[in-house]
Amino acid sequence: MKILFLKESTFMHKPTRYHPENPRRAVEARSALISEGIPIVDISVQGVDILEARRLARRVHSVDYVELLEKLSRRAPVDIDEDTYMSRDTLELALVYFYEAYRSAAESRRVFILGRPPGHHVGYNGATPGVLTQGFCILNNAAAAIYGFMDAGYRRLLTIDFDAHHGNGTMEIFYKQRVLQVDFHQDPATLYPHTGYPDELGEGDGYGYKVNIVLPRYSGDDLFLELLEMIKRVISRYNPEAVVVSAGFDAFENDGLSDLALTEVSYYQVGRFIAELDVPTVAVLEGGYGIGLRRGLPAFVKGLKSEVVEYPLLTTTPASARRASLESAKRVIEKVVGRIHGA
């Protein structure tokens, strides 16, 4: 598993005022990995055909949305919505990150691409129906990787999203398709984008292929790891040929933008599980704004690399919330396993 770092992320796509999604995130991510002795391969905006990236953007997203981005880019600095900004160079950086995710999948690589801006909240037309903002996101990098694997001939595709916020954009794009999507996120009743309830199972061919695992506020390592074990049953039945990962680290305890309390052990174990699937894998960075990048990111990468590390289980979940989450997950998994088994 190679770690690719889009070096221009450390200075491009810069807000004009304070914003949690800023170049400092990339600096912190790089520093955290280097301090742990994890090798990084630098990539650059110079290595991507922007015209080809624009064509791909028009496949994943609507032409109207991409043209809006181009129009706003010419007027930048500007806000797309109350949460999502664009600077003069935002679109270039977003297109490069987006296309690198696609190209890595199309070439059947095993990589974690560290870059900005994130993407899992962007649907086909930008903000998804019923959601007012794009949550810092410009182009959907995970969706680009899914397209890349599809173009390479893979059919049983799995996406795993463990950002604290539901990956509503990615799920919307593939909601009617047989792409198995597993999304761990904080209870949508208590956190943006207020989507990703357990009964959102997909539509048409996609019904039963959407698994929303809800984590109550203050969930800790104990609950996350138990839910991860339960999800393995679904994924084993599905037997994926390739995996796309939306890796967010804002569920780390005290990272700042959620009420979850995961620590290194959760991120390490999900990384180990993905590595054990032993299939082409493209991971992209979503959230994570502080301690999650400094501690959760290196733990996840060590798991992806199958390093043997012992992390203690540090946080626990209130008993009543834990029971409700496990019961909800069991109901969803029963429906999904039945659908996949009958497919």
Does the annotation count 166 as an active-site position?
A: no
Q: Which of 121, 165, 166, 185 is catalytic?
A: 121
Give the chain's length. Answer: 343
Burial of 42 (0-12, 13-18, 19+ CB in 10 A): exposed
Q: Is 192 left (phi over 0), alpha (psi -120 to 50) or beta?
A: beta
Q: Can you read off the two tokens belonging to residue 89?
A: 């160079």
- The rounded distance, in Å, linking the Cα atoms of 240 and 46 is 33
- The rounded distance, in Å, linking the Cα atoms of 327 and 323 is 6
Residue type, 232: K
CB atoms within 10 A of CB 20: 17
Of 139, 232, 138, the C-alpha closest to 180 is: 232
In angstroms and rounded to an integer, the radius of gyration of the C-alpha atoms of the chain is 18
Q: Is 278 left (phi over 0), alpha (psi -120 to 50) or beta?
A: left
> CA-CA distances (angstroms) from residue 179 to 8, 32, 36, 65, 281?
32, 33, 34, 23, 15
Of 184, 57, 72, the C-alpha closest to 124 is: 57
Q: Can you read off the two tokens belonging to residue 22?
A: 């800023």
Catalytic residues: 121
